[in-house]
A and B are shown apart, each in its own frame.
Chain A
Amino acid sequence: METMDTDKAAKKAAMKDLRAQRKDLIEAASLQMKKQKKDIKAIEAFLTGRAATIPDIAQGIGLPTDKTLWYIASLKKYGRIVEGSKAGAFFNYALNEPANNTEQEEV
Chain B
Amino acid sequence: MVSPDIKKFDTLVVGGGIAGLQAALDLGDQGYTVAVVEKDASIGGKMIRLSKVFPTLDCASCITTPKMSAAAHHENITLFTYCDLVSLDTDESANGSGINCRIIQRPRYVDPVKCIGCRQCEYICPVHVPDMEQGGLSAKRAISIPFSNAIPQLPILDIEHCMLCGQCEKVCPTNAIDYFQQPEDMMLSANTAIVTTGFELLPVKTFVQYGNGSIPNVVDALQMERLLAPHGPYNRVIRPSDGMEPDSIAYVQCAGSRDKSHGVPYCSRVCCMYAIKQAMLLSGSLPLADITIYYMDIRAFGKGYEQFYQNAKAMGIEFVKAKVARIDQGDNGSATVRYERQDGSGTASQDHDLVVLSMGVVPGWNPEPICAVSKSTDHFITSIKPKISPVLTSINGVFVAGAAAGPKDIVDTITESGSAAMEAAKFMSNSPRGN
- Are chains A and B touching in the complex at the 8 Å CB cutoff? yes
A69 touching B162 in the complex, CB below 8 Å, given contacts A29-B127, A33-B126, A103-B123:
no
Nearest-neighbor residue (CB-CB) of A55 within chain B: B242
A14 touching B180 in the complex, CB below 8 Å, given contacts A73-B234, A89-B247:
yes
Whether the pair A19, B245 counts as a contact (CB closer than 8 A) is no
Whether the pair A69, B163 counts as a contact (CB closer than 8 A) is no
A22 vs B367: C-alpha distance when bound (angstroms): 33
A25 touching B162 in the complex, CB below 8 Å, given contacts A32-B127, A36-B127, A66-B216:
yes
A29 vs B127: C-alpha distance when bound (angstroms): 7
Whether the pair A15, B127 counts as a contact (CB closer than 8 A) is no
Whether the pair A89, B244 counts as a contact (CB closer than 8 A) is yes
Binary contact track B212-251/A, C-beta < 8 Å → 1, others 0: 0000100000000000000001111010111111010000
Whether the pair A89, B245 counts as a contact (CB closer than 8 A) is yes
A73 touching B159 in the complex, CB below 8 Å, given contacts A36-B128, A90-B245, A103-B123:
no
Most chain B Cβ neighbours within 10 Å, of A19, A89, A91, A104:
A89
Residue B160 CB within 8 A of the other chain: yes
A34 vs B131: C-alpha distance when bound (angstroms): 19
- The A contact surface, by secondary structure, is helix
Residue A83 CB within 8 A of the other chain: yes
Whether the pair A72, B164 counts as a contact (CB closer than 8 A) is no
Residue B395 CB within 8 A of the other chain: no
**Chain A contacts with B in 64-97, Cβ cutoff 8 A:** 65-66, 68-74, 76-78, 83, 86, 89-91
Residue A18 CB within 8 A of the other chain: yes
B161 partner, pick from A18, A29, A58, beta carbons under 8 A:
A29
Whether the pair B138, A26 counts as a contact (CB closer than 8 A) is no
A37 partner, pick from B126, B139, B235, B238, beta carbons under 8 A:
B126
Binary contact track B118-145/A, C-beta < 8 Å → 1, others 0: 0100010011101100100111111000
A71 vs B141: C-alpha distance when bound (angstroms): 12
B139 partner, pick from A15, A70, A86, A104, beta carbons under 8 A:
A70
A74 vs B141: C-alpha distance when bound (angstroms): 9
Residue B266 CB within 8 A of the other chain: no
Residue B365 CB within 8 A of the other chain: no
A76 vs B140: C-alpha distance when bound (angstroms): 11
Whether the pair A25, B159 counts as a contact (CB closer than 8 A) is yes
Whether the pair B242, A65 counts as a contact (CB closer than 8 A) is yes
A104 to chain B, nearest CB (A): 8
Total B residues in contact with A, Cβ cutoff 8 Å:
36
Total A residues in contact with B, Cβ cutoff 8 Å:
36
A86 vs B180: C-alpha distance when bound (angstroms): 48
Binary contact track B295-321/A, C-beta < 8 Å → 1, others 0: 000000000000000000000000000
Nearest-neighbor residue (CB-CB) of B232 within chain A: A73
Whether the pair A18, B164 counts as a contact (CB closer than 8 A) is yes
Nearest-neighbor residue (CB-CB) of B234 within chain A: A73
Set of chain A residues within 8 Å of B242, measured between Cβ atoms: 54-55, 58, 65-66, 69, 90
A57 to chain B, nearest CB (A): 9
Residue B207 CB within 8 A of the other chain: no
Set of chain A residues within 8 Å of B32, measured between Cβ atoms: none
Set of chain B residues within 8 Å of A58, measured between Cβ atoms: 242
Whether the pair B243, A29 counts as a contact (CB closer than 8 A) is no
A90 touching B161 in the complex, CB below 8 Å, given contacts A18-B179, A74-B128, A103-B123:
no
A69 vs B234: C-alpha distance when bound (angstroms): 9
Whether the pair B138, A74 counts as a contact (CB closer than 8 A) is yes
A68 vs B243: C-alpha distance when bound (angstroms): 9
Nearest-neighbor residue (CB-CB) of A65 within chain B: B242
Binary contact track A20-48/B, C-beta < 8 Å → 1, others 0: 00100110011011001100000000000
Whether the pair B247, A32 counts as a contact (CB closer than 8 A) is no
A79 vs B164: C-alpha distance when bound (angstroms): 25
Question: What are 24 inter-chain pairs, A to B, with CB distance below 8 A?
Answer: A22-B159, A22-B162, A25-B159, A25-B162, A26-B163, A29-B127, A29-B162, A32-B127, A37-B126, A53-B243, A54-B242, A54-B243, A55-B242, A66-B216, A69-B242, A70-B130, A70-B137, A71-B139, A73-B134, A74-B139, A77-B140, A89-B245, A90-B243, A91-B236
Q: A14-B180, A54-B244, A91-B245 are in contact. List 17 more A-B contacts (CB 8 A).
A: A18-B164, A18-B179, A25-B162, A26-B164, A29-B160, A29-B162, A33-B128, A58-B242, A69-B234, A72-B243, A73-B233, A73-B234, A74-B139, A77-B138, A78-B123, A78-B141, A90-B244
Closest 7 CB pairs of A and B: A54-B243, A73-B138, A74-B139, A65-B242, A29-B163, A89-B244, A69-B243
Chain A: residues with CB nearer than 8 A to chain B?
A: 14-15, 18-19, 22, 25-26, 29-30, 32-33, 36-37, 53-55, 58, 65-66, 68-74, 76-78, 83, 86, 89-91, 103-104
